[in-house]
Structure 1
Amino acid sequence: MRNDNKMSIFLSLILRHKPEVIDIELDAEGWCPVEELIEKINKHGKKLDFERLKRIVDEDKKTRYSFSDDMKFIRANQGHSVKVRLNLVAIKPPEILYHGTKEAFVEKIRTSGIQKMKRHHVHLSKDLETATKVGARRGIPVILIVEASRMYEDGYVFYCSENGVWLTNHVPVSYIKEYK
């Protein structure tokens, strides 16, 4: 299923960052017609049919994508750098959340907190294992503990995406501790 992994990465590029690569437009909420997506990916020289797309969505361990109820539309659940409105509902977070990163970013985080950068939100994990996997994508992971409940009590807004990723706009330094 290595080719499915490559296709999933390509779908992530299209549905989160650069839909123009295959000349599609996402609607205001990030949805794309499934038939159009398949057609334009195939025109782009890759092979995709509905069964393969469904398998990629169903087997994605990070649950990156969702189909509409009628399965005619697809979108990424979060992580967009293009402007979309995901209609997330604010929710009280658990007491602590985790953020996995790499050593090269830690000094900047120590001075300015966790920034969303080009994405819509900062991504946080509810468990140490997920944060470790995220941080390990680019080397040795550094895990940060975010005092989410305290942030919430101080007026910061949190969301939880369909796939369980916790989202907020910024995590100030005063709410961050390094996991030892």
Structure 2
Amino acid sequence: MFSKNQSKNDIVLSKKLSYLLRHSSIKEGLNIKPNGFVVVSELLNKLHHYTINDIKRIVENNNKQRFTLDTINGVLEIKANQGHSISKISELTLKVLDSAEFDIIHGTYFKYWTTIKTEGLSRMRRNHIHFAKGLNFINGLRQSAELFIYINFEKAKKDGLIFLESENGVILCAGDLKGFIETKYFLKVTTKHDQALNFN
């Protein structure tokens, strides 16, 4: 979701930033740290025609708080808060979730349902499966999501699955050793019209 005052140009830049910081930094030759930070001036060498002020505006106006800017030893750096597929990213600021006073929900689409109800949720090429705290369409869920999978946190935690919370409030889980969260950890699955789906 993008802020109403963002131009099409800003939306394009935001998507480019997401791709570079989450997936292609190493391929593009950027020096990405284990905590996900990249020096902004180095990043701008890959983003021609953009300035530091453009980057600052994107970070400030992004409703989903996808990015963090920080000045480290006098150097401005930027990172994506979650969503990485780069295995080198191992030191993000993530808090282990010991308890959940909210629903942990993954949003998805009907076209994936046949696979999900057979195999469970997969982290695929990413480092984590993403969840929202409740029906949160700002951080964690897409407005276009058609299905909502509620996780039985206590059962999953008891069986050794680890849930983390990112700086912008998105819940993350790497799944089991194969990168899956099996359907036995689903509490319920509903459509956006609150119709319950069977997954047993």
TM-score range for the pair, normalised by the shorter chain length: 0.7 to 0.9
In structure 1, give the amino acid aligned to 2:43.
Answer: L
Following the alignment from structure 1 to structure 2, what is the Cα–Cα distance between the partners of residues 39 and 132?
A: 30
In structure 1, give the amino acid aligned to 2:98.
Answer: K
Identical amino acids, percent of aligned pairs: 29
Q: Which residue of 1 aligns with 2:30?
A: 24
Establish whether residue 98 from structure 1 lines up as the match of residue 105 from structure 2. Answer: yes
| Count of residue correspondences | 173
Residues 103 and 134, structure 2, Cα contact 8 Å, conserved in 1: no
Runs of 4+ aligned residues of structure 1 deviating over 4 Å after TM superposition are none
Establish whether residue 118 from structure 1 lines up as the match of residue 122 from structure 2. Answer: no
Write the deviation string for residues 2-43 of structure 1: whole angstroms up to 9, x where unpaired. 11011000011100011256432312222111111123312x
Counterpart pick for 1:166 among 171, 183, 188 = 171
Q: Which residue of 2 aligns with 1:5?
A: 11
Q: Which residue of 1 aligns with 2:189?
A: 178
Q: Which residue of 1 aligns with 2:142?
A: 134
Structure with a larger share of its residues in helix: 1
Following the alignment from structure 2 to structure 1, what is the Cα–Cα distance between the partners of residues 122 and 148?
A: 15
Q: Which runs of 5+ in 2 are unaligned?
A: 1-6, 176-180, 196-200
Q: Which runs of 5+ in 1 are unaligned?
A: none
Following the alignment from structure 1 to structure 2, what is the Cα–Cα distance between the partners of residues 75 and 13?
A: 11
TM-score (norm. length: structure 2): 0.78
- Secondary structure of the 1:68 match is strand
Q: Which residue of 2 aligns with 1:56?
A: 58
Residues 130 and 140, structure 2, Cα contact 8 Å, conserved in 1: no
Residues 132 and 141, structure 1, Cα contact 8 Å, conserved in 2: no
Deviation larger for 47-56 or 151-160: 151-160
Write the deviation string for residues 100-126 of structure 1: whole angstroms up to 9, x where unpaired. 001111111111211111000110001
Residues 106 and 141, structure 2, Cα contact 8 Å, conserved in 1: no
Following the alignment from structure 1 to structure 2, what is the Cα–Cα distance between the partners of residues 31 and 152?
A: 30
Q: Which residue of 2 aligns with 1:154?
A: 159
TM-score (norm. length: structure 1): 0.86
Write the deviation string for residues 29-88 of structure 1: whole angstroms up to 9, x where unpaired. 22111111123312xxxx211111011011111111111244611111111111211252
Following the alignment from structure 1 to structure 2, what is the Cα–Cα distance between the partners of residues 146 and 32?
A: 34
Q: CA deviation at 1:152?
A: 1.9
